[in-house]
Amino acid sequence: MHDLPRKIARSKVRLMLDKESKGWGFYASVLYQMPMVEKNTIPTMATDGRSIFYNAEFTDALTEPQLDGVKVHEAYHRILKHHLRMGKRDPQLWNIACDYAINPIIINSGLTLPDGALIDQKFFGMSAEKIYDHLMQNAQDKPEPQEWGNVEDMGGGMSSDQVKAEEATINAQVVMAVNSMKKEAGKLPSNIQEIINEMKRSQIDWTDVLRKFIGGDQPEGYSYRRPNRRQWYLNEVITPVSNKIGCGDIVVGIDTSGSVSSKELSYFLGELNAIASSSGADSVTIITCDADVQDVIRYEKGEQIEMLECKGRGGTRVMPVFDYIANNNINVDNFIYFSDMGIFDYPEQDVGYPILWVSSDIKAKDAPIGETTYLKVA
């Protein structure tokens, strides 16, 4: 057992090297964010979504392939935020449902699990919530729980703002792990794209926001007067009944400078598909920029916006984006820019199209040109 720390370290290296390119490197990146903590008061291995706790005797008895599989099992509890989703559900049955949801993914990744792993084909592809509901209604399908891999509830003891902050932290770590794999030309596990798509769910009703600023016919008597700044948070906007807006060609700028945190970036990226679908735009061009333009990607109407690699992380300038648009004759009907608003080089004159600045810093000053609104980052 004196070699146990080395055994645990070797497991992380095996996943990172991933010679067969099955996406294990992604798991290694996530596991680097989850410290292993010896806790012999538990019989096997468990997680609270932040750390992995292990019983030394149990872990020492695992084969190396089994150890890899169990650690990835624990990582998936974090990736899927199971520790935040239990709510008032029965903890034992929730663990069973989570294990049924996770284990097929582990096996399909080519990893090994210890004997007794819960796997049932009828639950393949189902969420833990749906599996839980099925088990509640069909007692005959309820098995004995696994002896390993439990997840402890954290959400019940956290405020809603703390839960949102934890979710944003996990999203940011997943984004970093995805980007790390892209840099190494690595392969992502097959189900991770689904998780990324889930992360892309918008927290903002962009149909209403875009109508307010840049498009659509307004009902009679509707005012374009700027609302009270304190009330003007994107997720609290009250506007007329919405229909899809025809916004033409939208350009979205994203500040990837070093002052923008990974959490803020995860919030910014989470809004992109919602902008595209709510606006009815003919195209969405995304420009990432720190002190210089880093990347430009154009999506035509109906195309799914993929997870972006956020290059840069240097100083903050916005004029390179406007210069790039002008120099490359990019058609812009509406322009949206996500930033923490640490900007000092705003355009000095009208650029010829509406500008909406989306600030992650609610204390920042309004931009001197265009409209400024605010995105709450928990």
pLDDT, tens only, 45-60:
888 888 999 999 999 9
Q: Is 147 helix (H, G, I), strand (E, B) or coil?
A: coil
At the second CATH level, the architecture of 206-374 is: 3-Layer(aba) Sandwich (3.40)
| pLDDT for position 223 | 28
What is the C-alpha to C-alpha distance for residues 186 and 113, in angstroms, rounded to an integer? Answer: 24
Beta bridge partners of 252: 286, 336
Residues 59-91 have pLDDT tens digits of: 999 999 999 999 999 999 988 888 888 888 888
Give the CA distances from residue 105 to residues 18, 108, 163, 189, 355, in Å, rounded to whole numbers and listed in that order.
17, 5, 25, 9, 44
Higher pLDDT, 161 or 297: 297
Name the residue ranges covered by the structural domains of the chain: 4-197, 206-374
Q: How many helices (H) and strands (E) does the chain have?
A: 13, 10
| Weakest mean pLDDT among 13-17, 171-175, 188-192, 279-283 | 188-192
